[in-house]
């Protein structure tokens, strides 16, 4: 029995040593991840600084896209490192509780051995000449050993329950969090660098990028929603509204698409701050609520658009000469409903719920608050809708609402 207990303690110590090594290695992994994120952020700043010195618009766009992708990856890498560190910390607590439990079990085994020894002495003393003289002392020793055994057993059972409860609760929780951070990192890496790959194809003309540009907002939002729970959906859509998924180089999808039919600029930072804004003219949108004088000037302004786009876009445009008229017609169609067209504009084609507040700072945009129920009267290009909030009409960014 004694040899068995000794062998068991030896195995337990070996397991504790292995677990200690695991914890130290997990901590090292977490430190490396956090340090890698810091190093990548520094490299991103150097890349951005290099891009600011180049006179090539193509290289500048590349530097901006790469630095933004790497910055997102660095943030996700740091979060993953923190989750890994928390995972190691929980393992360290598990080890401490197991050591305390095993110490209590060791004390319990010692108390059992002491009781066996006291009972053995009492049994051997029986039948001897001096038994009666030593009997009370030996019986008292047995009683004390029994009391010590009861106390040791209670403590061992208590610490065992605490250890098992903590491990089943906290370790599983930490493991789930670590797994979630790992999945989020993988999904983000796939999305961010797939986007970067597609945009690089646009830059070098190998194709594939224009398809991305048509679905950038929807794909980025869907991929991001998969990474997080529903509570963060509004924040994700608000982030997507910054225009990070749009492409500055795909000004036209095909030669039959007029310039004026391009979607109005989303609520986003200025083009200087956002390398993925729609195009060089995003800060001069033709809003649906433009004045009659502005609408009258739409045709000559549209006619001059190809030359201006050639200056701002290194890939040029292929708009036929007969498109300015079509562009002017499209601009005229985008004006807000008048008394003559009100009956057509009030036809509800869809309903949506606002998932984030939208101030509608620009002319023609419809302001609303999170939770507002909006009626869509025109799906437009899919990036912006036209509809109303109560009796107020205006343009609605699609990534601020969800269809119902």
Q: What is the pLDDT of residues 197-214, one digit of tens each?
A: 777 777 666 544 444 443
What pLDDT is recorded for position 212? Answer: 40
Q: Which of 133, 108, 131, 111 is nearest to 121 (CA)?
A: 131
**What are the tokens at 111?**
């108390």
Cβ of 230: how many Cβ atoms within 10 Å?
7
CA terminus-to-terminus distance, the chain:
71
Distance from chain centroid for Cα 319: 40
Q: How far apart are CA 296 and CA 121, in angstroms?
A: 114
Query: Mean pLDDT for the chain?
Result: 71
For 253-279, what is the mean pLDDT? 45
Gap between the Cα atoms of 33 and 75, Å rounded: 11
150/131: higher pLDDT: 150
Tell whether the model's pLDDT for residue 221 goes beyond 60.
Answer: no
Name the 3-class secondary structure at 321.
coil
Fold adopted by 2-207: Substrate Binding Domain Of Dnak; Chain:A; Domain 2 (1.20.1270)
Q: What is the DSSP string of 117-171?
A: HHHHHHHHHTTSTTHHHHHHHHHHHHHHHHHHHHHHHHHHHHHHHHHHHHIIIII
Kindly give, in sequence order, each residue whose CB lies less than 8 Å from that of residue 223, ignoring residues fewer than 6 positions away. Answer: 187, 190, 191
212 or 11: whose pLDDT is higher?
A: 11
Copy the structure tokens of residue 379: 């799906």
Burial of 331 (C-beta count, 10 Å sphere; 0-12/13-18/19+): buried
Neighbours of 393 (CB within 10 A): 21
Query: Among 41-50, 100-109, 125-134, 306-315, which is the least confidently predicted range?
Result: 306-315
**Domain spans of the chain, in order of start:** 2-207, 231-403
Confidence grade of residue 288 (pLDDT, cut at 50, 70, 90): very low
- Which segment, 24-28, 145-149, 205-209, 233-237, is predicted with the most confidence on average? 145-149
d(CA 274, CA 172): 41
Average pLDDT of 105-132?
88
Q: Whole-angstrom Cα distance, residue 270 to residue 394? A: 22
C-alpha 276 chain-centroid distance? 20
Q: Which residue has the higher pLDDT, 367 or 17?
A: 367
- Look at the block and give the residue holding tokens 């065992």: 160
Evaluate whether 212 touches 195 at the Cβ level (below 8 Å).
yes
Per DSSP, the three-state class of 268 is: coil
Mean pLDDT lowest among 245-249, 328-332, 398-402: 245-249
Would the CATH topology of 2-207 be identical to that of 231-403? no
Secondary structure of residue 395 in the 3-state scheme: strand
Residue with tokens 């914890």: 23
Report yes or no: 306 and 284 within 8 Å, Cβ to Cβ.
no
pLDDT of residue 373: 94
Q: What is the pLDDT of residue 325?
A: 47
Which segments within 16-62 are labelled E, that is strand? none
What is the per-residue pLDDT for 299?
42
CB burial readout 190-216, b (16+ within 10 A) else e: ebbeebbebbbbbbeeeeebbebbeeb
Q: What is the pLDDT of residues 55-98, one digit of tens each?
A: 777 777 777 878 888 888 888 888 889 888 988 898 898 888 88
Name which residue leads in pLDDT, 29 or 54: 29
Structure token pair of residue 309: 């786009």
Least reliable range by pLDDT among 1-5, 79-83, 234-238: 234-238
Q: What pLDDT is recorded for position 274?
A: 45
Mean pLDDT of 27-40: 89
pLDDT for 337 beyond 70: no
Q: Is the per-residue pLDDT at 153 higher than 90?
A: yes
Asked if residues 210 and 250 have their Cβ atoms less than 8 Å apart, the reply is yes
Cβ–Cβ contacts within 10 Å for residue 33, how many? 21
Q: Give percent of the chain above pLDDT 90.
A: 17
Q: Given this model, what pLDDT does residue 206 score?
A: 58
Three-state helix/strand/coil letters over 302-320: HHCHHHHHHHHCCCCCCCC
Integer Cα distance of 213 and 379 in angstroms: 18
Q: Could you confirm whether domain 231-403 is CATH 2.60.40.10? A: no
| Per-residue pLDDT at 6 | 53
- Identify the three-state secondary structure at position 272: coil
pLDDT value of position 145: 93
Neighbours of 88 (CB within 10 A): 20
- The partner residues of 401 in beta bridges, in order of sequence, read 354
pLDDT range class, residue 151, cuts 50, 70, 90? very high
Query: What are the phi and psi torsion angles at 176 (to 5°)?
Result: -65, -45
How far apart CA 364 and CA 345 sit, in angstroms, is: 15
Is the pLDDT higher at 132 or at 211? 132
Residue 394 confidence class, pLDDT cut points 50, 70, 90: very high
Q: Identify the top-confidence range among 10-19, 154-163, 194-203, 300-309.
A: 154-163
Q: What is the rounded (10 degree) CA torsion for 110, 111, 112, 114?
A: 90
Q: What is the dihedral of CA 247, 223, 269, 305, to 10 degrees?
A: 20
pLDDT for 210:
41
In this structure, how many other beta carbons lie within 10 angstroms of the beta carbon of residue 89? 16
Q: Which of 239-248, 328-337, 388-397 tops mean pLDDT?
A: 388-397
Q: What band does 133 get if pLDDT is binned at 50, 70 and 90?
A: confident
């Amino acid at each position: 029995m004694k040899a068995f207990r000794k062998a068991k303690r030896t195995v337990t110590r070996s397991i504790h040593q292995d677990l200690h090594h695991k914890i130290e290695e997990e901590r090292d992994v977490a430190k490396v991840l956090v340090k890698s994120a810091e190093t990548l952020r520094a490299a991103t700043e150097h890349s951005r600084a290099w891009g600011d010195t180049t006179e090539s618009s193509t290289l500048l766009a590349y530097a901006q896209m790469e630095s933004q992708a790497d910055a997102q990856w660095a943030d996700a890498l740091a979060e993953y490192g923190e989750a890994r560190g928390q995972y190691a910390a929980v393992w360290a607590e598990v080890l401490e509780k197991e050591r305390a439990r095993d110490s209590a079990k060791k004390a319990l085994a010692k108390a059992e051995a002491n009781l066996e020894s006291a009972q053995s002495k009492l049994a051997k003393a029986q039948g001897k000449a001096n038994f009666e003289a030593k009997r009370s002392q030996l019986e008292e020793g047995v009683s004390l050993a029994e009391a010590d055994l009861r106390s040791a057993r209670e403590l061992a059972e208590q610490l065992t329950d605490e250890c098992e409860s903590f491990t089943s609760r906290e370790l599983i929780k930490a493991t789930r969090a670590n797994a979630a951070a790992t999945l989020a990192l993988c999904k983000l890496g796939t999305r961010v660098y797939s986007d970067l790959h597609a945009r690089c194809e646009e830059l070098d003309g190998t194709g594939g990028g224009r398809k991305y540009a048509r679905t950038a907002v929807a794909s980025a939002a869907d991929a991001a929603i998969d990474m997080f729970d529903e509570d963060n959906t509004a924040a994700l859509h608000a982030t997507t509204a910054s225009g990070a998924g749009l492409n500055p180089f795909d000004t036209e999808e095909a030669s039959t698409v007029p310039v004026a039919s391009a979607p109005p600029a989303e609520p986003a930072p200025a083009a200087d701050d956002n390398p993925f804004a729609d195009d060089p003219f995003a800060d001069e949108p033709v809003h649906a609520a433009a004045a009659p004088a502005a609408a009258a000037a739409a045709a000559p302004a549209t006619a001059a658009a190809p030359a201006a786009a050639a200056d701002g876009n290194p890939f040029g445009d292929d708009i036929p000469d007969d498109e300015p008229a079509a562009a002017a017609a499209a601009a005229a169609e985008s004006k807000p409903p008048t008394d003559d067209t009100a009956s057509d504009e009030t036809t509800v084609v869809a309903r949506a719920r606002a998932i984030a507040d939208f101030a509608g700072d620009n002319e023609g945009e419809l302001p609303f608050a999170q939770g507002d129920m909006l009626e869509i009267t025109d799906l437009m290009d899919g990036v912006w809708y036209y509809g109303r909030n109560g009796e107020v009409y205006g343009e609605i960014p699609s990534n601020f609402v969800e269809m119902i």
